[in-house]
Amino acid sequence: MDNLRKAIEKMDIVTVDAAVKYSGLSRKVILDFIHENPHLRIFDEQEQHWVNENVDGHC
């Protein structure tokens, strides 16, 4: 999970599908991990929205 966290933080991985392919984990496990780490954000292609998106850094 540490490698996955680092890849998401660096934005090497930005979608749930990419995280599943990278880690071999299920969508549910990935989404649970993201929800447990609110500083991480990822795009959920099935729901068509960012998880943990906020307005920090937006104009």
Each residue's pLDDT tens digit, 8-25: 999 999 999 999 999 999
Location of structure tokens 């880690």: 23
Q: Write down the pLDDT at residue 53.
A: 86
With a cut of 50, say whether residue 59 has pLDDT above it.
Answer: no
Compute the mean pLDDT over every residue in the chain, rounded to the nearest whole number: 93
Q: What is the mean pLDDT of residues 20-34?
A: 98
Q: Write down the pLDDT at residue 49.
A: 95
With a cut of 70, say whether residue 3 has pLDDT above it.
Answer: yes
CA atoms 14, 30, 26, 10: torsion sign? positive
Structure tokens, 22: 């990278």
With a cut of 80, say whether residue 55 has pLDDT above it.
Answer: no
